[in-house]
Chain A
Amino acid sequence: MGNDIFVWVEQFRGQPVSVSYEAIGLARRLADAWGGRVTACLFGEEGIAPLAQEAISYGADRVLLAEDDTLADFRLEPQVALLAQAVREADPAVVLIGATFRGRELGPALAVELDTGCVADCTALDLEGEQLVATRPIYAGKLMCKCLVPERRPQIFTTRVRAFPKPEPDTTRRGEVVRVQPVLGEGDIAVKVTDFLEAIGGVSLADAAVIVAGGRGVGGPEGFAPLRELAQVLGAALGASRAAVDAGWIPYEHQVGQTGKTVSPDLYIACGISGAIQHQAGMRTSKVIVAINKDPEAPIFKLAHYGIVGDLFKVVPALTAALRARLG
């Protein structure tokens, strides 16, 4: 067994998912430290081939490329069958997969296939001697834990979205592209995709660099309007507290927190959110947190880096105007 690292590259209709390139960057650093190769696994529909060169520019040495209709529209069965076969052939030490909906399915399925361990949702991965040690949050981020796969190989890790830096692509990098064929034919796949319903509205929370979030303080569905404008100026996604979601002011897809999404943007602007522990569970790892709240005693001010005490209906429009003026 070598020191090679496999990275599963995720894409949606030909659009690469950022976390895959974050994972390639991580794989590159590890491979450079211990002298191994990075192989990107890119399995999807006809037309995804251009992403192979992109994966190389982010740090892959080699790309296993499969283009086939059975691999369009993520389905677990054909993906895991092909990935397992590729891994069996090359016998890499490590497989990295982004911790998205798709990746969180693929990781454990591959682990069962190969009878090995899969560490979920890693936020750090370090080499301690010969052993890779992952750090990951547990109990909604109230505790952290170090995890490892001491004996079995490969070691599978899913990486939290935005936990690892996305490298600068180097378009002069050269690598090898190897075409591979799917393992399963359509007749072997039980699950059929019959339709796709697009998510409503704008930037996805999971990989947004900036999030503007509203809570009970926005007062009603129309209270999100000034937040939407601020989000638009910042190219931000819209988040919400559970109180706002439960009140029916905004769909569940926007909920941040223990029973919603876990996010880790560069900037999180919490408007009219008190900062309950369950809300914090979903956003505490944001790089910079700004709180806008009229109650100076709100717990969110204990977590936030910057705070403005005031009425969000005055502060948010003013902030939008100032940003428009300053960012052009």
Chain B
Amino acid sequence: MHIVVCTKHTPDSEAKMSVDASGKVSWGGSPLIINPWDEYAVEEALRLREAHGGKVTVISMGPPEAVEALKHAIAMGCDEAIRIWEDACVDSDTLATSYVLAKAIEKMGDVDLVLFGKSAIDSQTWQVGVAVARRLGLPALMYVIKIAALDPVQRTITVERLLEEGRQVVSAPLPAVVGTTKGINEPRYTSFMGIRKAARMEYPVWSLAQIGAEANKVGVAGSGVRWPHIFMPPVREGEAEIIQGETVEATVSLLVDKLLAEKVI
């Protein structure tokens, strides 16, 4: 089995985000980490390798900082890591990003399964996984909370995937794309050996030419969506109105009055 995991680097989830007058986003002194959702994809890939053998390659389209995400995945236990980048990739939307990732996966050729996180915590688009699947012409199994069965000989996979109303159980032939979600596993910590390996590892960078990607399909030229304006959400001023009656009964009764007046019950 050759399993590819796509990961992105993001600011830490505790980062204090801000935007300056020119619209430049900053995350203070917070470190860049692997997108937290992608840890579930990495963990699932490692478990599948442990069960079925093979190798796990982690890839990211991103600038030099993106190596932080790759390092974390290697430290967790992935075998190989590839970064894909050229300055032309700056400001790619999900249409362009999925093009680059799909080209890189096509170049590898022998891929059985491609895993994604649920969404990137920075741009929060929930799109790249399904878009890559469509570009590769592979079944898209998204929001998967359980891989119920995987048969590398029959080349089939069965998963439970989330819908609002419950879990849909679906089967598909391999190769396939699987989008993971929290609940599928508990990601392992990086090991000491893993961290050492990650520190010593070479992280090859593939260019657009190497993956056979056309420059006019990446970056701004290849994107459908623009995001000209990023801003801080309006902050809610002040504090809660504390409701305090003589007794608990009186207190809750005052609250019910307020909620009826607000027309929310």
Question: A residues touching B (Cβ–Cβ < 8 Å)?
Answer: 12, 17, 73-77, 80, 99-102, 104-105, 107-109, 111-113, 115-121, 136-152, 190-199, 204, 206-207, 209-210, 234, 252, 258-260, 266-267, 277-278, 287-291, 296, 301-310, 314-315, 318-319, 321-323, 326-327
Contact status of A143 and B233, CB under 8 A, knowing A138-B123, A307-B242: yes
Q: B236 at the A/B interface (Cβ < 8 Å)?
A: yes
Q: B76 at the A/B interface (Cβ < 8 Å)?
A: no
Please tell me which stretch of B48-56, B135-143, B189-197 contacts chain A, meaning at least 4 of its Cβ atoms lie within 8 angstroms of it: B135-143
Contacting pair A252 B167 (CB below 8 A): no
Residue of B nearest to A268 (CB): B264
Contacting pair A137 B124 (CB below 8 A): yes
Residue of B nearest to A118 (CB): B127
CA separation between A149 and B224, bound complex, in Å? 6
Interface residues of B in 225-239 (CB under 8 A from A): 225-233, 236, 239
Pairs of residues from A and B, 3 with the lowest C-beta to C-beta distance, nearest first: A117-B224, A307-B240, A108-B127
Q: B17 at the A/B interface (Cβ < 8 Å)?
A: yes
In the complex, what residues of A have CB within 8 A of residue B6's CB? none
Sample of 18 A–B contacts (CB below 8 Å) = A12-B165, A73-B168, A76-B130, A77-B139, A99-B126, A111-B127, A111-B131, A118-B127, A119-B225, A138-B230, A139-B121, A146-B228, A146-B230, A190-B172, A196-B169, A266-B264, A315-B248, A323-B265
In the complex, what residues of B have CB within 8 A of residue A319's CB? 252, 255-256
Q: B74 at the A/B interface (Cβ < 8 Å)?
A: no
Partner of A308, one of B130, B143, B225, B252: B252
Residue of A nearest to B123 (CB): A138
Residue of A nearest to B172 (CB): A191
Contacting pair A112 B249 (CB below 8 A): no
In the complex, what residues of A have CB within 8 A of residue B242's CB? 296, 301, 306-309
CA separation between A80 and B134, bound complex, in Å? 10
Q: B183 at the A/B interface (Cβ < 8 Å)?
A: yes
Contacting pair A193 B170 (CB below 8 A): yes
Q: B160 at the A/B interface (Cβ < 8 Å)?
A: yes
Contacting pair A258 B248 (CB below 8 A): no
Q: B125 at the A/B interface (Cβ < 8 Å)?
A: yes
Contacting pair A301 B239 (CB below 8 A): yes
CA separation between A100 and B229, bound complex, in Å? 25
Residue of B nearest to A192 (CB): B171
Contact status of A259 and B182, CB under 8 A, knowing A137-B233, A139-B17: yes
Contacting pair A318 B252 (CB below 8 A): yes
Classify the secondary structure of B's interface with A. mixed
Contacting pair B168 A144 (CB below 8 A): no
CA separation between A111 and B252, bound complex, in Å? 50
B144-166 CB mask vs A (1 if < 8 Å, else 0) is 00000000000000101111111
Contacting pair A111 B182 (CB below 8 A): no
Contacting pair B232 A143 (CB below 8 A): yes
In the complex, what residues of B have CB within 8 A of residue A77's CB? 139
CA separation between A153 and B200, bound complex, in Å? 47
Partner of B160, one of A142, A150, A197, A296: A197
Contacting pair A108 B124 (CB below 8 A): no
Contact status of A109 and B224, CB under 8 A, knowing A306-B258, A319-B256: no
Tell me which of A75, A147, A198, A296 has the highest count of chain B C-beta atoms within 10 A of its own C-beta: A147
- Within the complex, the shortest CB–CB distance from A18 to chain B, in Å, comes to 10
In the complex, what residues of B have CB within 8 A of residue A99's CB? 126
Q: B94 at the A/B interface (Cβ < 8 Å)?
A: yes
